[in-house]
Structure 1
Amino acid sequence: MPANRNALIRYKTIDTCLRNPYRRWTLDDLVKACSEALYEYEGIDKGISRRAVQMDIQVMRSEKLGYNAPIEVYENKYYRYADLDYTITRLPLSQNDVAVLSETVNLLRQFLDFDYFSEMADVIGRLQDRVAVAKHHSSAVIDFERNRNLTGLEYLNPIYDAIMYRQTLHVRYRSFKSRITKDYYIYPYLLKEYRNRWFVFGARTGDRELINLALDRIWELSPANDIPYHLSEDFRPEIFFEDVIGVTKHERLSKATIRFKADSRQSPYILTKPLHASQTLIEQCKDGSMIFEITVVLNPELYTVLMGFGPGVKVLSPEKVVKEMRKLYQEGYENYKK
């Protein structure tokens, strides 16, 4: 086992011994206790040297691990804690420790929808309480975007298992545009979250065309045990999503370099939070507006993002995208026209 883990076992053993005020502990006593603990927990039967325990005591006394243990020698022979209430298991947390723990707890909470993390729920809850106490019950400093009312989350774990264990799936699915359910047999490859919705990417059996299905539109899910799983060597998420905003990408969608102008109100936000990794600044205008370019697939998510800026963004090219934006704004205008 790693030496660090063995050292932690020795530190804890020495701490347990020195917290017992009803026994006088010599160095040999501590060596014996550490040797027995290493054998019990790690199966190490070669024992430990006096020198190693002496070094452990020096480390515990120092600031190296933050212990600063008040270990003293009395009667030139015995070891004890000068502070009878001291223990290395009750070290005070620094403000930085509390901040790091708080962020970690909030991050871990995002994974509780998966069964693999459900066993951590109690641990995370207790840790959250301890952090709250350490922070004197101050309010949260991080709030992750989350939609607990989203349907389809019950399919996260079965799909995760299917991907991990390479299991073909039968999916009964109804899109927002359809009134009937459709049967899909897919080889699942990836679970992806986008704007608080989960999607499964996989290839259809037969033509092996890559598709994505929203989990909140799944009506029924079951393993297709009679269809052998096919692992695609071509689907690589780190490459597949390079030119995509959102999740929609297929052969029928073209890719283009889009040039757009952001006014003085929107340009600082777009400059500091790019619409896409390909975004480049083309020109800074005297009035504070800026002209940008991105190279992406022309999918519905792209238009949703562009429309979200309202009049603050104007697409300049290509003409195909300009026409689509004009159409969308015209439809919006009709909705509000008296």
Structure 2
Amino acid sequence: MPANRNALIRYKTIDNCLRNPYRRWTLEDLMDACSDALYEYEGIDKGISKRTVQMDIQMMRSEKLGYNAPIVVYENKYYKYEDPEYSITQTPLNEQDLKTMSEAVEVLRQFKSFSHFKEMSDIINRLEDHVASARMKTTPVIDFEKNESLKGLDYLDTIYHAIVNEHPIRLKYRSFKARSANSFIFYPYLLKEYRNRWFVYGVRKSGRILQNLALDRIQSLEVLPQEHYIRNTFFDPNTFFDDLVGVTKNSGSKAEKVGFKVKADEAPYIITKPIHRSQQLIERLTDGSVILEIEVVVNHELERVFFGYADGIQILYPQTLVELMGKKLKRAAEQYTTNSE
């Protein structure tokens, strides 16, 4: 039978104690530590008996939970790990664990073709790859894009629960253009990932304009469970991104048709990997180039995408975007001209 929650709390507490080399732990010390932990996490104030802790130590030493903890007694009364580097949290997965995980992954795989589970595909692939590499002791064969040094990721879970529980948050936030950080109360509604960066959508307490804030620009965050929460009536997350490339849509922005000519050598790539879901082929030209059209809100992220194809794409319309791209590309070319002189 799996260990219950209280037992797991005791095992973790004993593990933390025995990993502390700067204190000598008697059985009574471990009893007190477990009692304190159960009171803190579960509100249980009955205390722990000596027999309970002795049985916990025996269980941790055994193979039943896969711990095989090297707990030894020295000087006839003090407990410690014989291996000072040991911890139950570092216990490798055993064959039964891997078998159970494999079965769980197999069940999840059955749902991959259903529309409601399509977003789980990469998660299932990660689990499959992890279980396979652990069982076969081979290197993974899938490497997902990640940026472990990105700031703000530690706020993800806090913001997620604030949204679910409808709690406002107080932020200290500094945008890229601001000289200093501003503090304000924010009502969060949606977390969104774009190109390995995370953003939170919501409104400030002092205004009613939808904003998206980059998590890596947050300097501090505090959840305000007692503060009144204003529910989302500002946008529909199910349709908000239909006409967007990226995450930015200013108030009042409307989608417009954007036409562009793609050179022959870039055409196959952009046709098979559309810039936006609305992309349509308008015309194939005799030199192999193509004219494509999308219907989107023109924003900073769309400009960035086009800049990535600077010599392979020519914007045809709307005129405002043609002029903007022309000015920026001219300034960019001038920098290289100046440097080469």
TM-score range, shorter chain: 0.5 to 0.7
Q: Matches of 1:296 and 1:106 in 2, distance apart? A: 27
Q: Which residue of 2 aligns with 1:277?
A: 277
Distance 2:191 2:134 in 1: 36
Give the structure 1 partner of residue 132 of structure 2: 131
Task: Kindly indicate whether the alpha-carbon contact (under 8 Å) linking 2:172 and 2:181 is maintained by their aligned counterparts in 1.
Answer: yes
Does the residue aligned with 1:213 lie in a helix, a strand or coil?
strand
- Matched with 1:296 is 296
The answer to whether residue 167 in structure 2 is matched with residue 151 in structure 1 is no
User: How far has the Cα of 1:302 moved from its partner?
Assistant: 0.6
1:107 is matched with 123
- Is the contact made by 1:253 and 1:299 (CA closer than 8 Å) also made in structure 2? no
Q: Which runs of 5+ in 2 are unaligned?
A: 1-95, 113-119
Q: Provide the rounded CA distance (Å) in 2 between the counterparts of 1:207 and 1:246.
A: 24
Could you tell me which residue of structure 1 aligns to residue 233 of structure 2? 233
Partners of 2:319 and 2:99 lie apart in 1 by 66
- Counterparts of 1:86-97 in structure 2 under 5 Å? none
Matched, 1:267 2:267: yes
Change (3 A) 1:129 1:330: closer
Q: How does 1:299-338 map to 2 (within 5 A)?
A: 299-338=299-338
The structure-2 alpha-carbon separation of the partners of 1:228 and 1:286, relative to structure 1 and needing over 3 Å to count, comes to same
Q: Percent of pairs identical after alignment?
A: 40
Map 1:74-223 → 2, pairs under 5 A: 107=123, 130-132=131-133, 135=136, 137=138, 139-223=139-223
Distance 1:200 1:160 in 2: 9
Shift of 1:223: 2.0
Q: Residue type matched to 1:249 in 2?
A: K
Structure 2 partner of 1:53: none
- State the Cα distance separating 1:234 from its structure 2 match: 4.1
C-alpha contact (below 8 Å) 2:209/2:251 kept by paired residues: no
Aligned to 1:77: none
**CA 1:290–1:222 in 2, change beyond 3 Å: closer, same or farther?**
same
Distance in 1, Cα, partners of 2:191 & 2:325? 31
TM-aligned CA distance change 1:236 to 1:106, over 3 Å: closer
1:219 alignment partner, SS class: strand
- What does the per-residue CA deviation read over 1:152-205, in whole Å, with 9 as the maximum and x for residues that have no partner? 011101100100000011111101111111123221000000011000000222
Q: Go from structure 1 to structure 2 and tell me whether the alpha carbon gap of 1:135 and 1:307 turns closer, same or farther (over 3 Å shift).
A: same
Superposed CA offset, 1:241-277 (max 9, x none): 1111101112254532110000111111111111111
Q: CA 1:225–1:297 in structure 2 vs 1: closer, same or farther (change >3 Å)? A: same
Q: 1:309-331 CA distances to partner (integer Å, 9 max, x unpaired)?
A: 12100001111000010011012
Decide whether aligned partners of structure 1 residues 215 and 288 sit closer, same or farther in structure 2, where only a CA change above 3 A counts: same
Aligned Cα RMSD in Å? 3.1
Task: Structure 1 unaligned segments of length 5 or more: list them.
Answer: 1-86, 111-123
> How high is the TM-score relative to the length of structure 1?
0.61
Q: Report the AA paired with residue 325 of structure 1.
A: M
Instruction: Return the alpha-carbon distance in structure 2 between the equivalents of residues 246 and 207 of structure 1.
Output: 24
**What secondary structure, in the 3-state scheme, does the structure 1 residue paired with 2:231 have?**
coil
Q: 1:132 to 1:296 in 2, by over 3 A?
A: same
Q: Is the 2:264–2:289 contact (alpha carbons within 8 Å) kept by the matching residues of 1?
A: yes
Kindly state the Cα deviation for residue 235 of structure 1 after the two structures are TM-superposed.
1.9
C-alpha change, 1:269 and 1:105, in structure 2 (3 Å) is closer
Task: Say if 1:202 and 1:211, in contact at 8 Å, map to a contact too.
Answer: yes
CA contact (8 A) 1:200 1:212 kept: yes
- The match for 1:30 is none
**Cα contact 2:210–2:234 (8 A) shared by 1:** no
Contact 1:105 1:128 in 2 (8 A): no
Provide the rounded CA distance (Å) in 1 between the counterparts of 2:152 and 2:194: 14
Counterpart AA for 2:281: L
1:269–1:109 distance in 2 versus 1, CA, 3 Å: closer
Q: Is the 8 A contact 2:261 2:313 kept in 1?
A: yes
SS of the counterpart of 1:329? helix
Amino acid at match of 2:210: L
Paired letter, 1:165: N
* Cα pair 2:130 2:140 within 8 Å, conserved: no
Aligned length: 230
SS in 1 for 2:287: coil
Q: Residues of 2 paired with 1:320 and 1:148: CA distance?
A: 38
Instruction: Give 1:130 deviation, angstroms.
Output: 4.8
